[in-house]
Amino acid sequence: MSEPLSASESDLKHDHTIDPDMLSDAAVSVTRTLHQAGFEALLVGGCVRDLLLGYRPKDYDVATDATPEQVQDLFRRSRIIGRRFRIVHVRMGREIIEVTTFRGAPEDIDSVARSDRGRILADNTWGDLDSDAQRRDFTINALYYDPITNEGIDHVDGLADLEDSIIRVIGEPYRRFAEDPVRLLRAVRFMAKLGFDLSPESRSALEECVEFLGDVPAARLFDEVLKVFHNGRGELACQLLKQFNMLEILFPVLEPWLKDDADAIPPIIGKALANTDARVQQGKPVIAPFLFTAMLWMPIQARFEQLKDAGKPPIEALHRATDQVVADECHSVAIPRRVSSVVREILEIEHRLAERRSRSIHGLLENRRFRAAYDFMLLRNAVGERDDELVKWWTDIQDAPEPVVVEMISALKASSGKRRSRSRRTRKRKPSECQE
Ligand code: ATP
Ligand code: MG
């Protein structure tokens, strides 16, 4: 039987009741259409959790007893996606509502496909609301809300955990982490994003199961890794990942830089994430390539130096180093080519910004990666890898009116002319010096 949330609603701290004005029209409309067709339908998961905490949800999930095909028949602009976990994406205006069919009870779980270590490979057995709640990851993510009747349902004591700021795995934590180790990463994401703590049993299971993260197919981890770093508390999430020894599983290429100093994350990564957090909190866009540029920079730089020492020209060395490190990292987290190709461009442009060749300045200012490359140069400056003077020059020139730009470029030409003739003189003098 369903237990309405309203009994404990009055106990919620800080007036955390659901404000119907915060609900998206699209989510309400999808729920209503399903009701009118005779199905059960409720909002569930992150959106209910966020509404109760007083945040505006960024997306909505609807759970229903209609099968994916029945859902698809009701909505013209809908499609079934996923194999391991089939869901329906219903498009309403600019929003996409994810509609999932109630999953089956844990007792049915033996019928689902599993790997040797118990990882669930497919989960498309249908059930009712109660079994659906038991199959979700954490109690705070298994709260249901009917926007039409304004009724909430809590089968797992999630409301109490929400009030106490606790992340608690539903069911036996070790088994639940083993059957889907992505939940380890999700636990860290919610700890960071919500500032919640793990329940003691969930924490010890998480610590025991960390190595299972390495079993998750690399393709599935890309989106989850992005979510963990782009949630507005990425720096904290990264510290937690380091603390739980998950960072080295997700980024084995970083291993040499993660050995010392138990809790600290490498400065360039910390600064990149702090920067990303500030942007997310201000509602500014953040991009995956910038994140991966910062995450992979240290190994890329090490490889770059080796290749240059072996006589490769700098740009070729930089491209090769990037390609090699990305290829290595793709064994753990599959970085799509659309992302890695931009990482390559950002690094090339940043290198050219540092070269400051007078003939390339206009082209660089107009380059579509200028902004990201300049931001990356700021990061390198913050960790002492780029001069203040260089950064100031690029900061000034990008906002300067054209006559000033021209002036700055001629000043640059003059000074590099001087530098060149000086170096030519020194080169010429050397042999005679040697002969003396
Ligand atoms: P966010 O606000 O970041 O979107 P969310 O909780 O909504 O967080 P989603 O990835 O959108 O996260 O998933 C929606 C819901 O589906 C979750 O709240 C949870 O109930 C369930 N869920 C998602 N992934 C898993 C998983 N790996 N195991 C069990 N349940 C899951
Ligand atoms: Mg969600």
pLDDT tens-digit series, residues 285-337: 999 999 999 999 999 999 999 999 999 999 999 999 999 999 999 999 999 99
Residue 265 in domain: no
Is 11 among the residues known to form the active site?
A: no
Distance (Å, rounded) from C-alpha 317 to C-alpha 308? 6
Domain boundary among 144, 160, 176: 160
Question: What Cα–Cα distance (Å) separates residue 286 from each residue in 229, 272, 330?
Answer: 10, 11, 21
Distance of CA 189 from the midpoint of ligand 1 (Å): 11
95-101, strands of its sheet edge to edge: 78-81, 87-92, 95-101, 61-64, 41-44, 143-146, 151-154
Give the model's confidence band at 416: pLDDT under 50 very low, under 70 low, under 90 confident, else very high. confident
Weakest mean pLDDT among 111-115, 136-140, 156-160, 207-211: 111-115
152: CATH: 3.30.460.10
Residue 402 in domain: yes
Residue 301 in domain: yes
Residue 134 in domain: yes
Interval 372-389 mean pLDDT: 97
Range of the structural domain that residue 398 is part of? 293-415
361: CATH: 1.10.3090.10
Structural domain count, the chain: 2
pLDDT, position 17? 75
pLDDT, position 436? 27
Give the model's confidence band at 216: pLDDT under 50 very low, under 70 low, under 90 confident, else very high. very high
* Residue 377 in this model has a pLDDT that exceeds 70: yes
Q: Pick the residue with more confidence: 291 or 418?
A: 291
Cβ neighbours for 163, distance < 8 A, ≥ 6 positions apart: 11, 12, 13, 16
Amino acid in position 171: G
Are 237 and 280 in contact by the 8 Å Cβ rule? The answer is no
Domain boundary among 131, 160, 189: 160
Residue 151 in domain: yes
Residue 283 in domain: no
Residue 353 in domain: yes
pLDDT tens-digit series, residues 87-127: 999 999 999 999 999 998 655 555 566 666 767 666 668 88
Is 137 among the residues known to form the active site?
A: yes
> Closest-lying ligand to the alpha carbon of 63?
1
pLDDT tens-digit series, residues 15-71: 447 888 889 999 999 999 999 999 999 999 999 999 999 888 989 999 999 999 999
pLDDT, position 188? 98
Residue 403 in domain: yes
Domain boundary among 160, 195, 219: 160
Question: CB of 142 closer than 6 A to ligand 1?
Answer: yes
* Residue 165 in this model has a pLDDT that exceeds 60: yes
* Residue 400 in this model has a pLDDT that exceeds 90: yes
Q: What percent of the chain has pLDDT over 70?
A: 87
Are 381 and 388 in contact by the 8 Å Cβ rule? The answer is yes
Give the model's confidence band at 134: pLDDT under 50 very low, under 70 low, under 90 confident, else very high. very high
Catalytic residue among 50, 123, 132, 137: 137
pLDDT, position 293? 98
Residue from 44, 139, 186, 194 to probe ligand 1 pocket by mutation (most atoms less than 8 Å from CB)? 186
